[in-house]
Structure 1
Amino acid sequence: MSPAGDAPRTRLPFDAVLTDLDGVIRFYDMSYVEELERAAGLPDGATAGIAFAPETDLPLMLGRIGKTEWVESIGAGLARGHGLDAARGRELGLALAESKFWADQTVVGLLQRARAYIPVSIVTNATPWLDEDLALLGLAGLVDDVVSSAVLGVAKPDRRVYETAAARVGAAVTRCLFVDDREENVSAAVALGMTGVLYRGPEDLRSALAPLWGPTPD
């Protein structure tokens, strides 16, 4: 029973927040890669186009290869697609793999606030060195759980990723808010009954989380 004079607590709109990492919390500085691309006569984004193509990226995201093998595969792709020599291709691959990154502190603050109400989990298609990256970002204690494709062995939008993430924070799949910057990942979550947010900026997250604390922030 609520204390005298207090209104009964309204049921929260969802029981857990599941959020992507890259493109929502973490962002990369690609300026050095772009500098190397220009020096090599490549268009901006050529290296990323090779690196994040499924045939190059998926083995890494599933934990089947490490950074060295990934860099080599990027170099080989640049050689095939752009005629670069092996040394230049590896240089670009390594520069991308070791790009500097940063966390959006507005998003971090919103997730910290949400965690005062319900569990928050990072659910990400990630490299095998995700834990090191989270420590470098200062995010090791930001969330209640981390679901990494490289550990799980399956990647979004496979339904097993979403089901595992929900189960690990003790929430029903249909009672989760899922946030991601890729439409196919959000669509897969919605198909399972989750509330989906296609992330384009902090206001998308702020609006989605507002029902937790009401229309007027503390």
Structure 2
Amino acid sequence: MARERATALLLDLDGVLRRFDPAVAAGVEREYGLADGVLTEIAMQWGRLQPVLTGQVSHDDWVSSVAEALAEPAGGPDRARAAVQQWQRYRGEVDTEVLDFVREVRGAGIKVGLATNATDLLDADLATLGLTGELDVVVNSSTLGVHKPAPDYFQAACAALATPPARVLFVDDEDWAVRGARAAGLSAHRWGGHADLRYLRAALAS
């Protein structure tokens, strides 16, 4: 049976609308004598990351825990804090081609939502990136208390869009998130880059 046409779009933030230059973290690691990739490795350890993504701890608490874990390899707590603070000052960059697509879709009368596993810094990040007001709804895991790929997360996102799941097209760069969206009844596409925009336009066309 053919799927219903999507009438709303739900986008992931990191890896789709925002990108991070890995050279920034690499530069901090070199400056502080840290192993390549250690900042991301420690920050993304699930036991440390999951509480901040569900609003149990603040972004600042999470950053402090990363610095504590880095104290020994960085040569002391002060150097670790300085390294993490320098790393965190970089908030990424907007993918302008994706943003142009978002504006095009909204201009056609289609709602666009942001669906992201994020910390309580999200609103500040969106302001820093110039994205405030560029989306119809923002669904933040740390506000909801549940993260992708949980069904409750996607149900909340669809409710925020006032659109049934079968009518929502979700785009994410992670397979596990795409699988979770499909399990929740959404159409979902794994983002592979700008070449995918042609497909997304066709999927949203009336």
Specify whether residues 67 and 194 from structure 1 end up closer, same or farther in structure 2 by C-alpha distance, changes over 3 A only. closer
In structure 2, the partner of 1:104 is: 95
Gaps of 5+ in 1: 1-11
Q: Does 2:69 match 1:77?
A: yes
SS of 2:20's partner is strand
SS of 1:154's partner is coil
Number of equivalenced pairs: 203
Matches within 5 A, 1:16-31: 16-31=8-23
Shift of 1:37: 0.9
Q: Does 2:141 match 1:149?
A: yes
Shift of 1:114: 1.4
2:27 to 10, 21, 35: 35
Letter in 2 for 1:33: A
2:169 to 173, 177, 183: 177
Larger Rg: 1
Letter in 2 for 1:109: D
Matches within 5 A, 1:48-197: 48-79=40-71, 82=73, 84-115=75-106, 116-197=108-189
Gaps of 5+ in 2: none
Point out the more displaced range, 19-28 or 84-93: 84-93
Take 1:102 and 1:200, find their aligned partners in 2: how far apart are those partners?
Answer: 17
Shift of 1:121: 0.3
Take 1:83 and 1:142, find their aligned partners in 2: how far apart are those partners?
Answer: 39
After superposition, the C-alpha distances for 1:107-162 in whole angstroms (9 at most, x for unaligned) are 01111111223211001111202111111212112111001111111111111110
Equivalent pair of 2:53/2:117 in contact (CA under 8 Å) = yes
Take 1:33 and 1:193, find their aligned partners in 2: how far apart are those partners?
Answer: 37
Take 1:71 and 1:26, find their aligned partners in 2: how far apart are those partners?
Answer: 20
